[in-house]
Amino acid sequence: MADRCRCGLPVDPPEDTGPHWWPARDPEPLPTVRAVALVCEDAGFLRAERDGTRWRTAGHAAAHPGYAPARMWGELGVCWAGTEHAVVDVTGQQAAGR
């Protein structure tokens, strides 16, 4: 069984995850990627949406998304427990989560 973080998500992405990025280490994806979520996280629950050159928190678990400051790409990918996780493209899933 894969190692899990205190937040419940896997520490390393599952092999079948497909394309993924480590925001603290990898360059920002192409502009066609409009939304990302932590690997294995429900995009409707919590995701980051591209807002120009920054990313805004969105989803049901977003605390005051209209007031939270947008973040740079390298600041994404960290869970509430402070662990860095990979993120995946959830652009096609973002409309369902609104």
Q: Show the tokens assigned to 12.
A: 């390393």
CA pair distance 20, 9, nearest whole angstrom: 15
Q: What are the 10-residue block averages of pLDDT along the chain, 98 residues in total?
A: 85 86 95 94 92 91 78 93 95 64
pTM of the model: 0.85
Q: What is the pLDDT of residue 97?
A: 45
Q: What is the pLDDT of residue 2?
A: 62
- DSSP letter at 5? -
In this structure, are residues 12 and 3 in contact, taking their beta carbons and an 8 Å threshold? yes
In this structure, are residues 62 and 68 in contact, taking their beta carbons and an 8 Å threshold? yes
Q: What is the pLDDT of residue 22?
A: 96
Q: What is the pLDDT of residue 14?
A: 82
Which residues form the domain of 34? Answer: 1-98
DSSP β-bridge partners for residue 10: 4
Q: In the chain, how many domains are there?
A: 1
CA separation, residue 18 to residues 23, 64, 66, 71 (Å)? 16, 31, 31, 24
